[in-house]
Structure formats: C-alpha cells, structure tokens
C-alpha cells in the first residue's frame, strides 16, 4: 500500500509529498492531503548525520516519526519509525531522497576526519607561502617563499586570475623552478573583465604578465624571464650552448605561428602540413638529446622548457578539440610524449598546467575564435565530457585527452577529497555561482562565454535551498561513496521543492561547464567533480 509522506529538511516543513511502499502489516491507510499544517510541531529525531525528517500525518492516529541512516549500496538509506496509539512501532524503509544530506559543518568535520596528515600539513604550508604551489584563484598561493621569509620577496608578479594566459604561465614556471621568493596578484584578462585601477596605474597598457623586480616594473614576459634567469635564484634553469638555445627558441616561435594559422583556419589544406613539419622538427630536437634525458637540452630542465611548455600544452588540447589531431600518446612522437611526461612529473608544471577542456574553451575568446575542421567530433565529444561518468575507470592508461592524470585508485580517492574541500571551502561563492544558471547574463557582455564576472544569480529562495542541498549531496557522495554512481535515492528532498522546469539541473550544469583547471582545482579533482555533478543530475532526473 502507498503512503504519502511529507519531508522536511533542517526545519523546512512545508514540502511536497512523495509516494512510497510500506509493508502491509502496518495496516495504515493512505492519506493524500496537504500536510504542512500537521508537520510544524513534529520534528524528527535523527541519529547519525545532520538529517531531519518531518513528522507527517500518515494516519489520523499517527504520533511520531523519526529517521536514521543505515549503509546500503548507494550510501543513502532512510529508515522511518512510525509509532501509533497502542504502542505499536514499526520501521519503514523510505527512499533516501527523503533524507537530507548533512549540513556543511558536518561535511567539513567528515572531510577533516578523512584527510591525511600530509594533506593537512600541505594546506597549512600553502597558507604560509611554503610547500607546493596552488594555482587556485580563491584558496591558492598569494606568496611563494621557498623556505624564506616575507622580507626575502624581491619580485611582485601580476598574472591572470583564470590561469589562461600562456605568457603568465611561462614566467611563473621559471619563478617556481628558480625558487625566487615572489608575491602573486591576480588580475582579469580583457576577455572576461576589467582591470583594476591600481593595476592600470602600474601598467597603463593593461597587458599581462607584469613583474616588479627590485622596484622596476617590467611588462614583457621574455624580459622577465631574462631577469629570472640572470642568477637571482637557484640556477635551476641550467645554461646550455647559447646558439643552440636561440635555435630552439626560433623553433618555438615557428611552431607557435603554424599552430595559430591552422587553429584559426576553416580548412586543413596546407595548414596541417606546415604544422606537422614544425612538430616533426620538435620531435627531432628532442630525439637528438634523448640519450641524455627527456628535455630539450637533455637531462636538465632549462629555460627552453619555460618557453615551450605553455604552448605545446595548448596545442595538444586545442588541435585535438578543433582539428581531431592527436599529439599526446601518439606513436609518431615518442620523444615529445616523453617530454610531456617529464614535465608532468614536476610539481611546478603540474600546478600551472590546464586540462584539454579548459584550453578548448579559454582559447577562442583570447584568439578571437578557433575553427573546426577535419575529423574532430570524437575528440570534441570526449573533451566536452562524454567520459565524465561514474564510476570513473582507475588503474588503466589515461586517454590522450587526459593529461596530468596518473589514474590510480589512490589518486582518485585523494582527488575526491580535494574536490570536496574546494566545494566546502568556497560553498557560499559556489552556491551563488550555480544560481547564475537561472540568473541573468552580465551587461555589458564579455568575450569569454564561460567566464562572465558580471552575470546575475537567481534570487529564488526555493531554488537556492534546492541547489544548496544538491551540492551537499554531491560532497557527501565524494567523501563516502568511493566513486560509485549516485542513485536516484541519493537526491535529497529540497531539490524536489525547487521550481520545476530543469532549474536545479541548469544550475549544476552551469557549474560543471565552468570548472577550470588549475583555476578552481587540479585536473584529477576537476574530473571527479564533473563526473559527480553529471551523476547527480542523472539521478535527479530519474528520481523526478
């Protein structure tokens, strides 16, 4: 027999009813009527987590209802205990979608309990300007001291806040490798916002990157690199034959030109051949020193890597997406792949590099558009998320469009905690950001469609509660479910009270499509969060 059970979460009592099957032995008749007036004084007694289920008038003799959580395959089970006059008390299993996820404070406690000592120590180090670099916009490094003190800072460095700019990346890569203490200030690029007046006072042209070295302002990335490589730091940018370095840097500018020419062309004719010729020369240069090591000068990382890395990274992502051209894990370029893997083994590069999705969508607004041609659809679908599905595979070779991924079970577990940490730590901003999915576009508009700082958020209180609950459900799943798919029972009750018409889903899609690497989190964490958002959306639609 079907019972109509109203649900309340965290003191919200007037929720819509949902039908569930209850054992016939209760002999309780169905009640199908508005129940808000009955629920206000019968708050549930909850054990286990911050879960609240409203007392409903299941029958006219009904006294109370309480809920608790128990483990099951999808991680979310609600058990409702009904007590009647006469003392009869029975437990009824209800869809877990009637049980709210924990509150943010409880999720934060769960994360703290799950985090390793090494993770906690690293977070503390980053806050003090020590430890590894974090390129996150909100929780990332603003000071890099490399074991020194604030008084050791000689360079003030301004870079783009979205971590899109390749010229900023190559300078910061050099600063990290040389371990020169520096401060970081993040500024909008023109394609997604205005420059602040204090920055324009330093650099009226508004171009990035900018460095102030011992009081001298420099607004050219190559000039900054020359100063960084002039003996200020550790000397990690080893010197090689100057003529050889000049030839390699000419090759870098040559392949940069052929890449842009092909990327913006509506046809492959001639453009692809030129690029492949230049890429073949890059492969040949790496092959010539391969017996000594994977880098351009052999065994040691050098200034040449700082010039090449940001652009080869963007070539691999953009040409796969727009042209269907595979640069990574391509047997035609074994030394190039060895170079990429050597770069990805370095903490400095891993912290600064982006994933293919981010580059595929950040380059068009910077370049004034990119053109699709050739057989690119399979690559495009994969990069745009056709593989963002739970459970994500582990312990298999990463795909050509998945750089920065070791794909081990341990990495996946750490990545899920990192994704949860970013959501918990930025929950207010993330919630308001999600609500832009049902808000208004910014005015005036910006060139970067997926990065509009002036967009307005929805003001719907019900939608806000529903999306907040959805985010808490996703965080709970990240922390407890081991990467399993989210079943429809994992969708909490408030989402069902939110305005109909796909509004909650639209807000989650808005977030999913705008997770940037490394601006928001490293790629393994972004991959987990995108897949968990997709899984929740699928479960939400199925539950409705």
- Asked whether residue 106 is domain-assigned, the answer is no
Q: What are the CB-based long-range contacts (under 8 Å, 24+) for 458-462?
A: 458/503, 458/507, 460/435, 460/498, 460/499, 460/503, 462/497, 462/498, 462/499
Domain boundary among 204, 232, 260: 232
pLDDT at res. 181: 94
- The whole-angstrom separation of Cα 222 and Cα 94 is 64
Residues 370 and 398 occupy one common structural domain? no
pLDDT of residue 83: 58
- Asked if residue 256 and residue 330 are part of one domain, the reply reads yes
CA distance 171 to 173: 5
Q: Is residue 470 part of a domain?
A: yes
Contacts of 15 (CB under 8 A, 6+ apart): 6, 7, 8, 9, 54, 493, 494, 496, 497
Counted domains in the chain: 4
Q: Both 188 and 273 in a single domain?
A: no
Distance CA 544, CA 534 (A): 16
DSSP 145-188: -TTS-GGG--EEEEEETTS--HHHHHHHHHHHHHT--EEEEEE-
- Same domain? For 537 and 393 the reply is yes
In whole angstroms, what is the distance from residue 389 CA to residue 530 CA? 8
Distances (CA, A) of 496 to 16, 76, 396, 467, 540: 8, 17, 38, 10, 9
Domain for residue 110, yes or no? Answer: no
Question: 144 by DSSP, 3-state: which?
Answer: strand
Tokens of 26: 């209760």
Q: Distance between CA atoms of 404 and 437, rounded to whole angstroms?
A: 29
Residue 296's domain is classified under what CATH number?
Answer: 1.20.1050.10
Residue 365, domain member (yes or no): yes
- Residue pLDDT tens, the chain, 544 long: 333 333 332 322 222 222 222 222 222 222 222 222 222 222 232 223 333 333 333 332 333 333 444 433 333 345 555 555 566 776 665 555 567 899 999 999 999 999 999 999 999 999 899 999 988 766 667 899 999 999 999 999 999 999 999 999 999 999 999 999 999 999 999 888 889 999 999 999 999 999 999 889 999 999 999 998 887 777 778 778 889 999 999 999 999 999 999 999 999 999 999 999 999 999 999 999 999 999 999 999 999 999 999 999 999 999 999 999 999 999 999 999 999 999 999 999 999 999 999 999 999 999 999 999 989 999 999 999 999 999 999 999 999 999 999 999 999 999 999 999 999 999 999 999 999 999 998 888 888 878 888 899 999 999 999 999 999 999 999 999 999 999 877 787 777 677 766 799 999 999 999 999 999 999 999 999 999 999 999 998 887 7
Domain boundary among 203, 232, 261: 232
- Domain match, 401 and 538 both: yes
Q: Is position 297 within any domain?
A: yes
The burial of 376, by beta-carbon neighbours within 10 Å (0-12 exposed, 13-18 middle, 19 or more buried), is given as middle
For the record, the structure tokens of 503 come out as: 């509004």
Give the count of alpha carbons within 13 A of 31, CB side only: 15
C-alpha angle 132/109/121, rounded to 5°? 20
Give how far Cα 99 sits from Cα of 9, 21, 94, 227, 431, Å: 8, 16, 9, 59, 21
Q: Are residues 187 and 246 in the same domain?
A: no
Last residue of a domain, one of 359, 379, 399: 379
Number of alpha helices (DSSP H) and beta strands (DSSP E) in the chain: 19, 11
Contact assessment for residue 477 and residue 499, using Cβ atoms and an 8 Å cutoff: no
Identify the bridge partners of residue 3 per DSSP, sorted by sequence position. Answer: 20
Q: For residue 145, what is the domain's CATH number?
A: 3.40.30.10
For residues 223 and 304, state if they share a domain: no
Inside any domain, residue 31:
yes
Q: Give me the CATH number covering residue 449.
A: 1.10.490
Please give the Cα distance from 78 to 68 (Å, whole number): 6
Residue 442 lies in a domain: yes
Kindly state whether residues 433 and 535 are assigned to the same domain: yes
Distance in angstroms (rounded) separating the CA atoms of residues 459 and 68:
33
> 403 with 514, same domain?
yes
**Closest to 402 (Cα-Cα) out of 381, 377, 382:** 382
CA pair distance 386, 383, nearest whole angstrom: 7
Residues 476 and 521 in one domain: yes
225 and 178 within one domain: yes
440 with 513, same domain? yes
Q: What is the extent of the structural domain holding 452?
A: 387-543
- Whether 127 is covered by a domain: the verdict is no
Do residues 427 and 106 touch, judged by C-beta distance below 8 A? no
């Amino acid at each position: 027999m079907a019972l109509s059970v109203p649900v309340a979460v965290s003191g919200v009592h007037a929720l819509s009813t949902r039908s569930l099957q209850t054992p016939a032995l209760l002999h309780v008749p169905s009640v199908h009527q508005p129940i808000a007036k009955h629920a206000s004084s019968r708050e549930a007694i909850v054990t286990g987590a911050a879960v609240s289920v409203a007392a409903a008038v299941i029958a006219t003799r009904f006294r109370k209802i309480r809920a608790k959580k128990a483990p099951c395959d999808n991680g979310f089970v609600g058990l409702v205990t009904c007590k009647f006059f006469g003392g009869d008390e029975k437990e009824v299993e209800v869809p877990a979608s009637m049980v709210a996820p924990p509150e943010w404070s409880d999720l934060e406690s769960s994360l703290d309990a799950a985090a390793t000592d090494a993770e906690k120590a690293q977070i503390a180090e980053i806050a003090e300007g020590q430890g590894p670099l974090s390129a996150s916009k909100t929780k990332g490094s603003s000071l890099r001291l490399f074991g020194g003190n604030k008084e050791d800072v000689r360079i003030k460095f301004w870079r783009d806040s979205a971590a899109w700019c390749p010229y900023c990346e190559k300078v910061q890569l050099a600063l990290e490798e040389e371990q020169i203490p520096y401060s970081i200030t993040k500024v909008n690029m023109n394609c997604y916002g205005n420059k602040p007046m204090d920055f324009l006072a330093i650099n009226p042209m508004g171009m990035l990157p900018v460095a102030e070295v011992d009081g001298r302002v420099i607004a050219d990335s190559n000039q900054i690199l020359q100063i960084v490589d002039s003996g200020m730091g550790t000397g990690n940018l080893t010197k090689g034959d100057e003529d050889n370095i000049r030839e390699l840097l000419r090759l870098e500018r040559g392949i940069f030109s052929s890449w842009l020419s092909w990327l913006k062309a509506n046809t492959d004719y001639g453009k692809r051949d030129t690029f492949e010729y230049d890429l073949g020369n890059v492969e040949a240069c790496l092959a010539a020193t391969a017996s000594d090591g994977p880098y351009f000068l052999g065994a040691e990382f050098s200034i040449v890597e700082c010039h090449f890395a940001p652009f080869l990274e963007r070539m691999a992502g953009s040409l796969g997406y727009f042209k269907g051209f595979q640069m990574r894990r391509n047997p035609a370029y074994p030394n190039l792949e060895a170079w990429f893997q050597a770069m990805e083994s370095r903490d400095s590069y891993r912290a600064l590099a982006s994933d293919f999705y981010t580059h595929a969508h950040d380059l068009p607004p910077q370049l004034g558009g990119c053109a699709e041609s050739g057989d690119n659809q399979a690559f495009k679908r994969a990069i745009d998320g056709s593989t963002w599905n739970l459970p994500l595979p582990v312990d298999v070779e990463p795909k050509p469009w998945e750089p920065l991924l070791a794909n081990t079970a341990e990495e996946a577990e750490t990545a899920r905690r990192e994704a949860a940490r970013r959501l918990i730590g930025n929950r207010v901003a993330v919630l308001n950001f999600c609500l832009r999915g049902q808000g208004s576009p910014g005015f005036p508009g910006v060139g970067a469609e997926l990065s509009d700082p002036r967009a307005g958020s929805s003001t719907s209180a019900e939608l806000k509660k529903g999306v907040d609950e959805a985010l808490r459900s996703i965080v709970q799943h990240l922390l407890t479910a081991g990467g399993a798919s989210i079943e429809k029972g994992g969708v909490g009750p408030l989402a069902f009270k939110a305005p109909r018409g796909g509004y909650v889903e639209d807000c989650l899609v808005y977030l999913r499509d705008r997770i940037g690497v490394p601006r928001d989190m490293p790629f393994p964490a972004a991959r987990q969060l995108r897949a968990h958002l997709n899984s929740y959306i699928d479960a939400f639609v199925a539950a409705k």
